[in-house]
């Protein structure tokens, strides 16, 4: 009886203890949290009940101390734009702080939040709007993981932090604007536990002299998209635990050391967009775990390391835009059963495509354009059921467009097909031989440019309803622009410059849904080609890389024999960004409606027979960055706006009756009124002048025309 009573008493007593230990939060910490909540403008946290250990995002330990403060993706905003800067925020037992994916806009410079967080092990403030420099109070003694990525932090990343953070396993500051030299001694000689290091997407400069070789556990090293210089750090090859090296888009030079073949666990090697030279390590293929090799856009030379044909795990091999050479017909791809992407564009490879390539049944993308290959397309290509990107142009030997198209139509997954500069001088198939064309139903980009093809724009194209980009420039295509082109539901880029097209600019082309309606644009999904597409805005700039097909909308029809009026319906193409109708025979006025093209960036109607005035409404084309109306019969004053006057005089020259800035000739006060009359009177003289000027300029424009093969497929 007494025992039972005692038990009962004990039970009450101990449950009381449990209540105190587990449920009651430390009052001082409670007020710290409330202070923290006060610095937030939204949302209202439901932090009201007495026991703060039950609050959302809070975890306490047995002693009632707060150990976890985790409020990721809660839409948190700071009131003052300052990260909590008072020392009220004492949470001395906190081990986990995760406020990632919020909208915390504030400076880390002055914060004292970290001062008391001596026990902190996990710090995740990624995906916020934090700025300022890293505070020297960044907790280091117990820290294991730091993720400050995707903010706007700047300044240097101090080396001393790494010297103190002995238990650091992961450090991610990617996607900020950190600058200055790369931290010099990241790893401890003996005890480094660092596994993941991510410095990518910042402004780091100088060379990578980091003592990485001492990181005896390092698995991931990323520092791409910076301004790093110098050679690959030699001691990196001592970190045999490395699984990923990603240093793309820097200015690293020198050769890739043979010692790389010591890194037997390497799965990803991304050194693309650097200035690396020399030959590729012969034994690269000893790294049997390699899945991703990205070495494109360097100055690598010599031959393809045959050992790579032993990398049975290879998924992606990109060696494009280098100076590699050799006969690829000796390559045996049959062991690369996982290969999904092969990109060797812009090298000096020769020989014929080995048939063994078609045994890589998961291939999704093949780009071998701009080499010296003898291209033949073998029927076995039909066994590549996932093939969605095929680019073989700018090589030799590819003939029989009809046969090739008939065959490739069996590749049901094709999204991108580029066969530019092939089939030289053949006829564009359009007759009975293609009457039964069906296929290409997923094709979104078709490039048959620079093939010198004869014939007309073929009607079978009209069946390719998903086409978004049609590239037919630099052929000898005759006939008129078919009106059904205007019915393509998704067409946004149409390149047909440098052909022999005649007739009028069809009104129906002015109804292209993607150029007319923002709603259509919103509905059409972006193309994410299996390989990036490179766009060269100018000949000497580094090509821009696009992982999806740009929003840009072009019609290029220059250097044809188009005539008649520019239809007033052109004003419907409101979403068009670039329109080039230059070097045709268009006559009559520039329609006033052209000024409806509010998003127009580049407009070229030069070298036609356009007369009348430049519409006054042109002053409303706010996005216009390039205008060319030169070598027409235009007259009257150039409408005044800061925009039009900012262009070079050459944009207007060759129009004898045109006057006013930026042209040197001033307008006579009466000239505006009777300009149309004068143009008819002077028609004769102008007929003689135009061809002369036309010739004068053809040379330079032709250069322009050639470099306007604006992207690499
Ligand atoms: C706030 O949290 C308490 C429990 O802690 C709960 O009873 C109450 O419904 C919550 N209020 C709101 C508005 O969510
Ligand atoms: C927080 O800690 C600092 C020292 O780290 C101390 O000076 C301050 O008084 C503490 N604040 C509160 C509210 O306890
Ligand atoms: C922080 O929270 C997010 C969202 O739950 C999670 O994905 C992330 O892994 C957490 N960070 C750390 C370092 O655990
Ligand atoms: C570092 O980590 C080890 C193992 O996880 C642990 O035993 C040790 O206490 C930690 N050291 C510090 C300073 O946190
Ligand atoms: C670093 O953070 C970024 C997001 O900001 C993420 O994409 C990247 O994978 C992270 N790096 C590592 C090594 O985990
Ligand atoms: C970089 O950060 C911005 C802003 O947080 C984010 O929108 C973007 O996706 C991030 N980029 C990468 C590559 O992680
Ligand atoms: C980082 O580099 C870019 C490109 O050079 C520059 O525009 C930007 O101002 C730099 N940011 C900082 C914080 O240095
Ligand atoms: C790399 O390791 C080798 C021994 O395998 C050693 O001789 C060399 O000093 C190390 N290099 C660096 C830079 O640590
Ligand atoms: C390579 O990876 C394997 C499996 O993850 C691991 O057991 C091995 O220790 C690693 N080798 C090195 C040198 O890190
Ligand atoms: C690393 O590679 C070099 C040359 O390729 C070789 O001499 C050396 O023994 C290798 N070191 C290790 C630790 O495997
Ligand atoms: C490929 O691996 C085999 C053994 O698996 C080896 O005999 C052969 O020499 C390797 N080929 C190359 C080119 O390294
Ligand atoms: C082109 O290919 C087709 C189909 O493969 C074939 O019937 C035709 O004879 C070929 N034409 C030429 C000129 O080789």
Could you give the CA distance from residue 182 to residue 186 in angstroms, rounded to a whole number?
9
Q: Cβ(7) to ligand 9 under 6 A? A: no
Q: What is the residue with the minimal CA distance to atom 4 of ligand 4?
A: 167
Containing structural domain, residue 670: 479-707
Q: Given ligand 3 and candidates 57, 72, 172, which is best to mutate, with the most ligand atoms within 8 Å of its CB?
A: 72
174 pLDDT band (50/70/90 cuts)?
very high
Asked which of 155, 176, 191 is the last residue of a domain, the reply is 155
Predicted local distance difference test score (pLDDT) of residue 524: 78
Region 499-527 average pLDDT: 88
Could you give the CA distance from residue 233 to residue 252 in angstroms, rounded to a whole number?
10
Residue 297, domain member (yes or no):
no
Q: Which helix (H) or strand (E) holds 316?
A: strand 316-318
Q: What is the residue with the minimal CA distance to atom 6 of ligand 8?
A: 238
Region 647-660 average pLDDT: 92
Q: How many CA atoms lie within 13 A of 551 on its CB side?
A: 10
Predicted local distance difference test score (pLDDT) of residue 615: 92
Asked which of 89, 121, 155 is the last residue of a domain, the reply is 155
Question: pLDDT (tens digit, 9 = 90+) per residue, 265-315?
Answer: 999 999 999 999 999 999 999 999 999 999 999 999 999 999 999 999 999
Highest mean pLDDT among 153-162, 521-530, 543-552, 659-668: 153-162
Where does residue 283 rank: exposed (0-12), middle (13-18), buried (19+ CB within 10 A)? middle
- Give the residue carrying structure tokens 């101090």: 158
Predicted local distance difference test score (pLDDT) of residue 549: 60
| Residue 628's CATH number | 3.80.10.10
Could you give the CA distance from residue 671 to residue 657 in angstroms, rounded to a whole number?
9
| Residue 690 pLDDT > 50 | no
| CA distances in angstroms from 257 to 159, 219, 278, 282, 360, listed in the order given | 27, 19, 10, 10, 29
| Residue 372 pLDDT > 60 | yes
Could you give the CA distance from residue 198 to residue 177 in angstroms, rounded to a whole number?
13
Within 8 A by CB and 6+ apart from 435, the residues are none
Predicted local distance difference test score (pLDDT) of residue 79: 82
Within 8 A by CB and 6+ apart from 450, the residues are 393, 394, 420, 421, 473, 474, 475, 709
Find the range with the poorest average confidence among 292-306, 388-402, 658-672, 690-704: 690-704
Predicted local distance difference test score (pLDDT) of residue 88: 54
Residue 606, domain member (yes or no):
yes
Atom of ligand 11 nearest to the CA of 305: 13
How far, in Å, is the centroid of ligand 4 from the Cα of 186? 18
How far, in Å, is the centroid of ligand 2 from the Cα of 113? 10
Nearest-ligand number for the alpha carbon of 242: 9
Could you give the CA distance from residue 91 to residue 110 in angstroms, rounded to a whole number?
18
| Residue 529 pLDDT > 70 | yes
Could you give the CA distance from residue 193 to residue 522 in angstroms, rounded to a whole number?
48
Pocket around ligand 11 at a 6 A CB cut-off: 285, 306-307, 310
Atom of ligand 3 nearest to the CA of 145: 13
Pocket around ligand 8 at a 6 A CB cut-off: 213, 234-235, 238
Region 320-348 average pLDDT: 96
Q: Which helix (H) or strand (E) holds 691?
A: helix 683-707
Q: Cβ(400) to ligand 12 under 6 A? A: yes
Could you tell me the two tokens for 327?
A: 């006969």
More confident residue, 180 or 1: 180
How far, in Å, is the centroid of ligand 12 from the Cα of 437? 15
pTM: predicted TM-score of the whole model, two decimal places: 0.86
Q: What is the residue with the minimal CA distance to atom 5 of ligand 9?
A: 265
How far, in Å, is the centroid of ligand 9 from the Cα of 422? 48
Q: Given ligand 5 and candidates 172, 173, 220, 268, which is best to mutate, with the most ligand atoms within 8 Å of its CB?
A: 172
Asked which of 129, 155, 181 is the last residue of a domain, the reply is 155
Residue 99, domain member (yes or no):
yes
Residue 653, domain member (yes or no):
yes
Find the range with the poorest average confidence among 224-233, 324-333, 393-402, 686-695: 686-695
Q: What integer best gives the mean pLDDT of the chain? A: 85
Region 586-594 average pLDDT: 93
Residue 682, domain member (yes or no):
yes
Q: What is the residue with the minimal CA distance to atom 13 of ligand 6?
A: 175
The 3 state secondary structure assigned to 611-674 is EECCCHHHHHCCCCCEEECCCCEEEEECCCCHHHHCCCHHHCCCCCEEECCCCCCCCCCCCCCC
Sign of the alpha-carbon torsion through 103, 109, 113, 115 = positive
| Residue 547 pLDDT > 70 | no
Residue 528, domain member (yes or no):
yes
Domain count, the chain: 2
Region 452-471 average pLDDT: 93
The 3 state secondary structure assigned to 261-286 is HHCCCCCEEECCCCEECCECCCCHHH
Question: pLDDT (tens digit, 9 = 90+) per residue, 236-269?
Answer: 999 999 999 999 999 999 999 999 999 999 999 9
| Cβ count within 10 A of residue 19 | 11
Predicted local distance difference test score (pLDDT) of residue 72: 95
Name the residue among 290, 287, 314, 318 with its Cα closest to residue 304. Answer: 318
How far, in Å, is the centroid of ligand 12 from the Cα of 596? 48
- Give the residue carrying structure tokens 């597409």: 533
How far, in Å, is the centroid of ligand 12 from the Cα of 403? 5
22: phi then psi, degrees, rounded to nearest 5: -90, -35
Name the residue among 434, 372, 426 with its Cα closest to residue 408. Answer: 434
Could you give the CA distance from residue 617 to residue 620 in angstroms, rounded to a whole number?
6
Q: Given ligand 3 and candidates 57, 124, 173, which is best to mutate, with the most ligand atoms within 8 Å of its CB?
A: 124
More confident residue, 688 or 679: 679
Q: What is the residue with the minimal CA distance to atom 1 of ligand 12?
A: 403
Hey, what's the torsion of the CAs at 19, 23, 27, 28, to 10 degrees? 120
How far, in Å, is the centroid of ligand 4 from the Cα of 141? 9
| Residue 418 pLDDT > 70 | yes
144: phi then psi, degrees, rounded to nearest 5: -115, -35
557 pLDDT band (50/70/90 cuts)?
very high
Residue 57 DSSP SS3: coil
Predicted local distance difference test score (pLDDT) of residue 674: 40
Residue 319, domain member (yes or no):
no
Question: pLDDT (tens digit, 9 = 90+) per residue, 592-646?
Answer: 999 999 889 899 999 999 999 999 888 888 888 889 999 999 999 999 887 888 8
More confident residue, 698 or 556: 556
Residue 660, domain member (yes or no):
yes
Within 8 A by CB and 6+ apart from 143, the residues are 120, 121, 122, 123, 165, 167, 168
């Amino acid at each position: 009886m007494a025992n039972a009573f005692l038990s009962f008493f004990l039970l009450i007593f101990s449950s009381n203890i449990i209540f105190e230990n587990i449920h009651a939060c430390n009052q001082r910490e409670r007020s710290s949290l409330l202070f923290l909540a006060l610095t937030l403008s939204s949302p209202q946290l439901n932090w009201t009940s007495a026991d703060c250990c039950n609050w959302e995002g809070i975890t306490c330990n047995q002693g009632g101390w707060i150990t976890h403060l985790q409020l990721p993706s809660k839409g948190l905003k700071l009131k003052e734009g300052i990260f909590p800067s008072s020392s009220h925020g004492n949470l001395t037992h906190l081990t986990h702080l995760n406020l990632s994916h919020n909208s915390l806009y504030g400076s880390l410079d002055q914060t004292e939040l970290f001062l008391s967080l001596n026990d902190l092990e996990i710090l995740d403030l990624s995906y916020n709007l934090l700025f300022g420099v890293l505070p020297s109070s960044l907790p280091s003694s117990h820290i294991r993981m730091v993720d400050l990525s995707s903010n706007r932090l700047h300044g240097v990343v101090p080396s001393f932090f790494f010297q103190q953070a002995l238990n650091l396993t992961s450090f991610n500051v990617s996607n900020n604007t950190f600058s200055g030299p790369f931290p010099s001694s990241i790893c401890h000689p003996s005890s480094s536990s660092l596994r993941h290091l991510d410095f990518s997407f910042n402004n780091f400069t100088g060379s990578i002299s980091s003592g990485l070789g001492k990181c005896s556990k390092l698995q991931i090293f990323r520092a791409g998209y910076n301004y790093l210089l110098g050679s690959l750090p030699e001691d990196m090859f001592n970190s045999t635990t490395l699984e990923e090296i990603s240093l793309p888009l820097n200015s690293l030079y020198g050769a890739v050391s043979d010692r790389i073949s010591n890194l037997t666990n390497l799965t990803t090697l991304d050194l693309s967009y650097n200035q690396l030279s020399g030959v590729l390590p012969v034994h690269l293929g000893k790294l049997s775990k390699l899945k991703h090799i990205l070495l494109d856009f360097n100055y690598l030379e010599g031959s393809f390391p045959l050992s790579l044909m032993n990398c049975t795990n290879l998924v992606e091999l990109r060696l494009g835009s280098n100076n590699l050479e050799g006969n690829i017909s000796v390559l045996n791809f049959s062991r690369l059963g996982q290969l999904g992407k092969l990109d060797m564009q812009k090298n000096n490879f020769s020989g014929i495509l080995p048939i063994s390539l078609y045994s890589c049944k998961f291939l999704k993308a093949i780009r071998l354009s701009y080499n010296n290959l003898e291209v033949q397309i073998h029927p076995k290509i039909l066994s590549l059921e996932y093939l969605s990107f095929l680019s073989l142009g700018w090589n030799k030997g590819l003939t029989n467009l009809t046969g090739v198209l008939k065959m490739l139509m069996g590749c049901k997954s094709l999204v991108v097909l580029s066969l530019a500069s092939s089939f030289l001088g053949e006829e564009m198939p359009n007759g009975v031989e293609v009457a039964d064309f069906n296929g290409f139903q997923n094709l979104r980009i078709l490039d048959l440019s620079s093939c010198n093809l004869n014939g007309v724009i073929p009607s079978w194209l009209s069946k390719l309803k998903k086409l978004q980009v049609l590239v037919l420039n630099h052929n000898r295509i005759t006939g008129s622009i078919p009106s059904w082109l205007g019915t393509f539901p998704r067409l946004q880029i149409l390149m047909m410059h440098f052909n022999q097209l005649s007739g009028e600019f069809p009104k129906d082309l002015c109804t292209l849904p993607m150029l007319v309606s923002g709603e259509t644009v919103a509905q059409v999904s972006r193309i994410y080609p299996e390989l990036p597409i490179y766009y060269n805005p100018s000949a000497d700039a580094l090509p821009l890389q696009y992982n999806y097909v740009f929003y840009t909308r072009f019609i290029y029809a220059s250097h044809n024999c188009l005539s008649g009026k520019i239809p007033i319906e052109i004003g419907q193409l409101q979403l068009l960004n670039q329109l080039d109708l230059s070097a045709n025979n268009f006559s009559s006025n520039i329609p006033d409606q052209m000024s409806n093209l509010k998003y127009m960036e580049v407009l070229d109607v030069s070298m036609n027979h356009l007369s009348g005035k430049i519409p006054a409404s042109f002053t409303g084309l706010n996005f216009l960055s390039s205008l060319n109306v030169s070598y027409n019969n235009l007259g009257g004053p150039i409408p005044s706006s800061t925009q039009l006057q900012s262009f070079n005089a050459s944009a207007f020259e060759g129009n004898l009756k045109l006057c006013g800035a930026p042209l040197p000739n001033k307008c006579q006060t009466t000239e505006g009124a009777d300009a149309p009359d004068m143009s008819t009177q002077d028609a004769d003289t102008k007929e003689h002048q135009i061809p002369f000027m036309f010739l004068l300029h053809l040379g330079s424009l032709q250069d322009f025309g050639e470099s306007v093969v604006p992207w690499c497929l």
